Amino acid sequence: METHIWDVRAFKDNLHQYPYINDIKDTVIKGGLVAIPTETVYGLGANAKDEVAVKKIYEAKGRPSDNPLIVHVHHRKQLDKFVEHIDERVSKLMEAYWPGPISFILPLKSGYLCETVTGGLNSIAVRMPSHKIGRALLQVIDEPIAAPSANLSGRPSPTTFDHVFHDLNHKIDGIVNGDQSEEGLESTVLDCTQFPFRIARPGSVTKEMIEKVLPESVQDIHFTENEKPIAPGMKYKHYSPDTPLTIIENLNHKIDNNEKWKDTAFIFPESMKSLLPESAQFISLCKNAQDIKTANHNLYSILHSIDRSSDIQRAFIFGFEKKDQSEAIMNRMLKAAGNEIIKGDTL
Ligand code: TXA
Ligand code: MG
């Protein structure tokens, strides 16, 4: 299949003037798959009412069919058709953080969306992206758009056009090129089907940010091995680069310079560069250990780049201290590293 490329970067502020805007719209309306930029990661979009189109998302990604998709809207009114009701408390959170990087799991009103979107569940995850191009596309198409991250299942999520192209060229109808995603990590997924709410996937809208709007509204959860995860997606292998990756915690001394580091990348804050061996390859994660926003933005791009570099055989990455703001990045890093963590003093 030929994958169309729509480079809309020059039309960021006036997408309706892009000459091929109707081609993008028609492709989606006719049941095609189009990757679209959002502020978190690129999404692989299809009309959420079209069973055949939604099934193609699962095929293109190689995604297990019991893992439900997030439905994207440009206006809250759209939710009336497929959400049973929106509680006052959820409404407050939507006012505070939409459009933006948080998805809400809400009770489903059945009959409007196709069944495959929810994987047979009676709830539905919804999000209104803030990305200028992404949001304008949703307005133009004006249908609820089911969109998981636009990567092959089990690979790091895509934050640039190149990442999407690499994973999905020839597998989907088109890709909208809209620059690098600012946030860089997938949205927070908040399960609002019971109170207190539960964070099914941490993201850049943190527990503290949610509780600033609604005090004591988020239940702390600790999964045990046997417990069923709230987001079905959390049980699958995720975000894994092919290059072996290990997290380093508490590095307080200079690592000896040694030829053995020649094929190794250290993905660290710039402020810690002097502690790393000169023979290794340094990759900048962010400015310093407090600069979590930049690290979120860069993480997936770096994971993609280490796999494409033939002279990197393994990588070590800086582990952030546990706090509200670092929860999302540590969640993704732990998955990418298959939970491999070592202490700095062992090096
Ligand atoms: O930032 C994002 O959320 C991106 C962009 C494209 O919007 N999308 C994204 O979608 O990350 P995806 O499909 O890769 O992740 C959706 C997560 C999965 O872990 C899925 O299991 C969970 O949300 N999820 C979706 N619907 C659910 C539901 N009804 N109940 C529980 N979990 C749900
Ligand atoms: Mg994903």
Q: Nearest ligand to the C-alpha of residue 234?
A: 1
**Ligand 1 atom closest to Cα of residue 108:** 29
DSSP 344: G
Tell me 259's DSSP state.
G
pLDDT score recorded for residue 66: 83
Tokens of 266: 């250290």
User: Which residue puts its alpha carbon closest to atom 12 of ligand 1?
Assistant: 148
- Residue bearing tokens 């990567």: 151
Residues 277-314 pLDDT 10s: 999 999 999 999 999 999 999 999 999 999 889 899 99
Instruction: Please give the distance, rounded to the nearest whole angstrom, from the Cα atom of residue 27 to the centre of ligand 1.
Output: 23
Q: What pLDDT was estimated at residue 144? A: 98
- At which residue do the structure tokens 């061996």 appear? 277
Asked if residue 292 has its Cβ within 6 Å of ligand 1, the reply is no
DSSP string, 102-161: EEEEEEB-TTSS-GGGGTT-SEEEEE----HHHHHHHHHH-S-EE--BSS-TTSPPP-SH
Over 60: is that where the pLDDT of 237 sits?
Answer: no
Note the pLDDT of residue 277: 96
pLDDT of residue 228: 55
Q: Is 153 in the pocket of ligand 1 (CB under 6 A)?
A: no
Query: In sequence order, what are the residues at sequence separation of 6 or more whose Cβ sits closer than 8 angstroms to the Cβ of residue 113?
Result: 48, 49, 71, 82, 124, 144, 146
Pocket test for ligand 1, best of 66, 69, 97, 126 (most atoms within 8 A of CB): 69
Q: How far apart are the first and last CA of the chain?
A: 49
Ligand that comes closest to the CA of residue 157? 2
pLDDT of residue 238: 64
Beta-bridged to residue 219, according to DSSP, are 198
Closest ligand 1 atom to residue 230 Cα is 31
Mean pLDDT, the chain, rounded, equals 94
Classified as helix, coil or strand, 11 is helix
Q: Is the CB of 146 under 6 A from ligand 1?
A: no
Helices (H), 160-291: 161-168, 207-213
d(CA 114, CA 212): 35
Q: Which of 159, 189, 299 to mutate to test the pocket of ligand 1 (most atoms within 8 A of CB)?
A: 189
pLDDT digits (tens, 9 = 90+) for 167-186: 999 999 999 999 999 999 99
* Reported pTM: 0.95
The partner residues of 284 in beta bridges, in order of sequence, read: 268
Q: Is the pLDDT of residue 251 over 60?
A: yes
d(CA 264, CA 281): 6
The residues, any chain, with a CB within 8 Å of residue 155's CB and separated by 6 or more, are 167, 239, 240
DSSP sequence for 204-217: SS-HHHHHHHSTT-
DSSP strands (E only) in the chain: 4-7, 34-36, 43-47, 70-72, 102-107, 123-127, 145-146, 174-177, 188-191, 197-201, 218-219, 245-249, 264-269, 281-286, 314-318, 341-343
CA atoms within 13 A on the CB side of 141: 31
Least confident of 75-84, 101-110, 149-158, 228-237: 228-237
Name the nearest CA neighbour of 185 among 277, 320, 316, 82.
320
Higher pLDDT: 271 or 220? It is 271
Do 134 and 149 form a contact (C-beta atoms < 8 A)? no
In sequence order, the β-bridge partners of residue 283 are 267
Task: Compute φ and ψ for 97, nearest 5 degrees.
Answer: -120, 5
Going 7 to 188 to 314 to 284, the CA torsion angle's sign is: positive
Please tell me the residue having the least CA distance from ligand 1 atom 19: 233
pLDDT at 54: 97
Q: How far is the CA of 18 from the centre of ligand 2 (A)?
A: 29
What single-letter amino acid sits at 198? R
Q: Is 87 exposed, middle or buried (0-12, 13-18, 19+ CB in 10 A)?
A: middle
Q: Is the CB of 105 under 6 A from ligand 1?
A: yes
Q: What is the mean pLDDT of residues 35-60?
A: 98
Is residue 57 pLDDT above 70, yes or no?
yes
CA 105 / ligand 1 centre spacing (Å): 9
Residue 45 has pLDDT above 60, yes or no: yes
